[in-house]
Every structure is written in C-alpha cells, then in structure tokens.
C-alpha cells in the first residue's frame, strides 16, 4: 500500500486549506455511504479521499460546490410575490398614524404647537435664561 501525501494532491488542489476541506467533504460522503472510486485496501475514509483526489477519480469542482452548500445556513429561493400578514391591531395603528389631528398638539404636553413657527433656542432649552 503506497502512502498518499499532500504533495501528491497539491498539484490537483493548489491551496492546502482547500485541499483539506475538499478531502474532509469527500471523507464525510464516503462515511455516509457514497460509492468508492478506488479500492479500499483497508484504508480509512480520509486516506481514501486523498487517494481519490490524487488519482483524479472524483470531480474536485463538484466536491467544492457540495462543500459550499453544506456550510450554507440559508437556502436562497425566489418567490413571486411575498404577502405579509398583518398582526392584530397593526392595520388600525397604520390608519391612526396616517390621520392628522385638527389641532397640532405636543405628544407629551397639553399645549398647542404652531406648525408655521419654528421653536427658538430658548424654547428648546426650557425657557428664558435667568437674569443676573
């Protein structure tokens, strides 16, 4: 039984990290019952995966795509029209927010605020400054 090394596989997959990830993906597939493309020869799944990569008996691009899909958390799909169901009371809040009041009043006070007059700095500060 000939040993397989990273140097045997590095000309097939140029990045060592990518080689490890692809070989691990293939080893997982072998462990889950995927058919072998070479003889087992009493080797473990990671060794078989490296030997398959070195012998170019598996499609490396397919393994890369499967690896990407296996690490995705959300599968993207397109839906024609998305309908949003409103919660109870949400429609009423929307209509209430759209209605202007007859008298423009402050939210937290009982006094009226004129729409055409911009508040002065004294008003924002809380009144007139104390005289010395």
Average pLDDT of span 59-85: 81
pLDDT band at 103 (very low <50, low <70, confident <90, very high): very low
Average pLDDT of span 12-17: 90
pLDDT band at 87 (very low <50, low <70, confident <90, very high): confident
Name the least confident of 26-30, 51-55, 107-111, 122-126: 107-111
Show the domains of the chain with their CATH numbers. Answer: 6-71 (3.90.940.10)
What's the pLDDT score for residue 53? 94
Residue by residue, DSSP assigns 23-34 as HHHHHHHHHTTP
4, 19 contact by CB (below 8 A): no
pLDDT band at 80 (very low <50, low <70, confident <90, very high): low
Residue 105's φ and ψ, nearest 5 degrees, are -115, 155
Q: Which residues of 70-90 are buried (b: 16+ CB within 10 A; e: fewer)?
A: eeeeeeeeeeeeeeeeeeeee
Comparing 19 with 80, the larger pLDDT belongs to 19
Highest mean pLDDT among 6-10, 39-43, 103-107 belongs to 39-43
List C-alpha distances in Å: 84 to 13, 50, 80, 88, 90. Answer: 46, 49, 13, 13, 12
């Amino acid at each position: 039984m000939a040993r397989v090394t990273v140097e045997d596989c590095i000309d097939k997959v140029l990045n060592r990290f990518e080689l490890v990830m692809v070989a691990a993906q293939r080893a997982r597939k072998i462990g889950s019952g995927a058919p072998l493309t070479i003889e087992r020869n009493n080797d473990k799944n990671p060794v078989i995966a490296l030997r398959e990569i070195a012998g170019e008996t598996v499609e490396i691009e397919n393994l890369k795509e499967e690896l990407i899909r296996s690490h995705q958390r959300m599968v993207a799909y397109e839906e024609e029209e998305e309908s949003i169901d409103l919660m109870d009371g949400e429609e009423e809040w929307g209509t209430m927010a759209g209605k202007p009041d007859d008298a423009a009043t402050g939210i937290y006070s009982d006094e009226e605020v004129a729409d055409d007059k911009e508040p002065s700095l004294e008003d924002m500060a809380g009144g007139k400054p104390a005289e010395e």
